[in-house]
Amino acid sequence: MSPDLDARGLKCPLPVIRLARLARELPSGTTLLVLADDPAAESDIPAWARMRGHSVTLERDGEHTAYTVVLG
């Protein structure tokens, strides 16, 4: 599956800002795949998701982290 947001190479706070901008346009229940390689995204994206009532899971593969965000 290709990412809905490829934030690799972007530094904090851009990955979470771009995710928030994208999510704003989408209905509840939408699943987004986000790829990021900035270490700060590992705390920023889950924190943003919790504050907005979304769920998030993540998988690391060594080069980047894949975040699956389900909009609540």
DSSP 53-70: T-EEEEEE-SS-EEEEEE
Catalytic residue of the set 12, 14, 17, 56? 12
- What pLDDT band is residue 72 in, cutting at 50, 70 and 90? very high
Domain boundaries, the chain: 5-70
- Name the residue type at position 46: P
- Average model confidence (pLDDT) across the chain: 96
Fold held by 5-70:
Translation Initiation Factor IF3 (3.30.110)
Mean pLDDT of 18-37: 96
Strands 31-36 and 65-70: antiparallel
| Active site annotation includes 12 | yes
- From CA 29, how far away is CA 43, in angstroms rounded? 22
More confident residue, 61 or 46: 46
Condensed to tens digits (0 to 9), the pLDDT of residues 53-69 reads 999 999 998 889 999 99
Model pTM score: 0.93
